Amino acid sequence: MRLLHTMLRVGDLDRSIAFYTELLGMRLLRRSDNSQYRYTLAFVGYGDEAETAVLELTYNWDTDHYELGTAFGHLAISCPDIVATCALISAGGGKVVREPGPVKGGTSVIAFVEDPDGYRIELIERRTPVASSSPAEPAAA
């Protein structure tokens, strides 16, 4: 398993992309709109998603700001068998808050668990392991 991404909800996607790419030297890796569920995802980072953890910026079309306590979304971790992983977490006393199944508007199989403090962790099923590498150097701003 490896850390895939951290998700933040943002009130102005273009402003956030500009901050992370222009000020912090990340690259916009991909961006997708989901008109049915009214959100846009933008992934930014210093390297390819197959090799490094990245940041997912989520823009919900009907929300232009968040209170500081609600801006953090979740951590994401890949796992080869999401059903077995959730069963192990439950058996160990952990809390599965969203059972394994397809993501709304997509095909990825996901589940959510909570850590002891209530922080959400998204499990994403990946049958083939994703290679890990050392972090890439940030691009010059």
Alpha carbon distance 121, 99 (integer Å): 12
Strands 54-60 and 3-9: parallel
Nearest partner of 141 among 15, 25, 14, judged by Cα: 25
67 flagged as catalytic: no
Q: Kind and range of the H or E element at 13?
A: helix 13-18
Tell me the CA distances in angstroms from 125 to 1, 80, 100, one per residue in order: 10, 6, 9
**Hey, which residues does 121 pair with through a beta bridge?**
75, 113
Of 51, 99, 122, 125, the active-site residue reads 122
Residues with active-site annotation: 122
